Structures are given as C-alpha cells and as structure tokens.
Amino acid sequence: MVNIEICISSDNLPMLERQVLAAINGGAKRVELCGNMQEDGLTPSYSAIELASSVLTDAQALMVMIRPRKGGFYYSLQEIQQMRSSIIAAAKFGAKGVVFGLLDATETELAITDMQSLVELATENGLEVTCHRAFDVLSDPLAGLAQLKALGVTRVLTAAGKWGQPSLATDNAEVFSNYLRAAQGELEIICCGGITPQNAALIVAQQKPIKNESSNCLSLHAYSGVLTDGLVSESKVALLCSAANNA
C-alpha cells in the first residue's frame, strides 16, 4: 500500500477541523500540519496542533512541522531550544510525529549533533521523525540517507530536486529510485513536488519494481494538488489515494 500524506495549513483555524476530516475521510494515512505556508511551512500554533489531533484516531498520524522561521536550515542555539520546546509541545498536544531538518554552517551537510539531540528528544516523547526538505539541500543526498538511518529518522520528505527551485516529482523518477534503493526499506521515502490525482499513478508506477522489493518504503505527499478554493478537498484526496494504489 502507498500511504498518502496531506499537508494542511493551520492558518485558517476555523476551517482546520473540516480540512483534517477531508484528508482522513478521503483516505489519507497522515496529516502534516504546518503554519505560514506562504513561507513554505513553519511550526503551527499549539492550539492548531491540539485541534487537529482531536479529530484523528490512533490509526491516523498527525505530523507536526518544527521550523521556527523562514529561510535556511542552519539554526542558532536559541532557535534549536525553541525547536526542542515545540517538539515537547507537539507530543503533549497529541501529535504522532514531528518534521524537521538541521544543517551545519555550510548549509550543505546535516548538523549531525543537533539532529541527533532532537531525534532523541522526539523519540523519548514517543514521536516519529521525518526529515523535511532540508534533505534537498545536501551536497551528497545518498550519504545523508545513511546518516539519517543511523540517527533513527523514520522518513525523508523529498522532491528529488534542489530546494528553492521548481521540482516536479514526475521529472525525477531516477533520483527517487536511487533514494529508495539506498534507503533499503529502513527509511520511508515520501515523494513530494506537484503531486496530484492526475500524476500519482505515474509516480508510483515508475517506482513499482523497487516498491515490490520492500513494502511501505514509498509514500506520496500532496498539498496544492488536493485543494479546492484553498481548502483540502475530500474528493481529490480520494482520487489521489485510488490512483496511487491502483497503479
């Protein structure tokens, strides 16, 4: 089965419950909750985390973005402390996982010590960890995958293209294949980058030989492709889930 993860903006709090229900009723396995989507997703408010988690069952996972500011992924000690507080709060308010990524001062390599510290904190609080698209900044992504596996990260979100540049998943099949082979089923690769109900089947079909070698190694992440008038559409999510799992 190809799990579907829907990114939901928390900025419209009065419509948040409706959007989470639309994603789950449409068949999504996970929801990634983000604030400030105009800045490519920052840490949502604690009230939004609590509201979103109250809608979900134990079989459904709320993943919370932990990103204290816009821009790059090299953080100060104060920002890292802020991330630690947000991780603890995410667990307190019902999240199943957190999504973050930290780079060193070169912004081309993982900040291993700080990543390890936050992964350990998340694990201690019962949370799974996804490395977000900071991964797409790395100078050597395959080496990064090995490092993330060693750190105990569960998933990697990637468009298989450079962060900050337009990147469609449909154009990067070979790179996704390389990542899936390198992950060896020990990391789930979450494909993003313009995922829609119309292209989901193609993306999955491109990776089917590798997926058949290791179940649950591939999932899809969608945001704008399942929106109607700025809100998550249950029917579009359902079409996406059906397309991905009947490829």
pLDDT attached to residue 210: 67
pLDDT exceeds cutoff 80 at 215: no
Among 12-21, 121-130, 162-171, whose mean pLDDT is lowest? 162-171
Q: What is the DSSP letter of 110?
A: B
**Cα separation of 172 and 159, whole Å?**
8
In the chain, where are the structural domains located?
A: 3-245
Average pLDDT over residues 182-198: 94
Average pLDDT over residues 47-73: 92
What string of DSSP letters covers 124-162?
A: HTT-EEEE-GGGGG-S-HHHHHHHHHHHT--EEEE-SS-
pLDDT attached to residue 163: 87
What is the fold, at CATH topology level, of the domain defined by 3-245?
A: TIM Barrel (3.20.20)
pLDDT category of residue 213 using cuts at 50, 70 and 90: low
Strand partners, 221: 5
For 47, the token pair is 């009230």
Average pLDDT over residues 53-73: 91
* N residues, the chain: 247
Q: pLDDT digit string (tens) for 18-28?
A: 999 999 999 99
Among 13-17, 89-93, 154-158, 214-218, whose mean pLDDT is lowest? 214-218
**Residue 65 in 3-state DSSP?**
strand
pLDDT attached to residue 212: 53
The residues near 205 (Cβ < 8 Å, ≥ 6 apart) are 247
Q: Which position has the higher pLDDT, 179 or 213?
A: 179
pLDDT exceeds cutoff 90 at 135: yes
128 with 99: CB under 8 angstroms? no
pLDDT attached to residue 167: 80
Q: List alpha helices for the chain, DSSP H.
A: 16-25, 46-55, 77-92, 112-124, 141-151, 173-183, 200-206, 208-211, 234-245
Q: Which position has the higher pLDDT, 7 or 168?
A: 7
Of 58, 57, 63, nearest in space to 43 by CA: 63
Q: What is the DSSP letter of 169?
A: G
For the CA atoms of the chain, what is the radius of gyration? 17
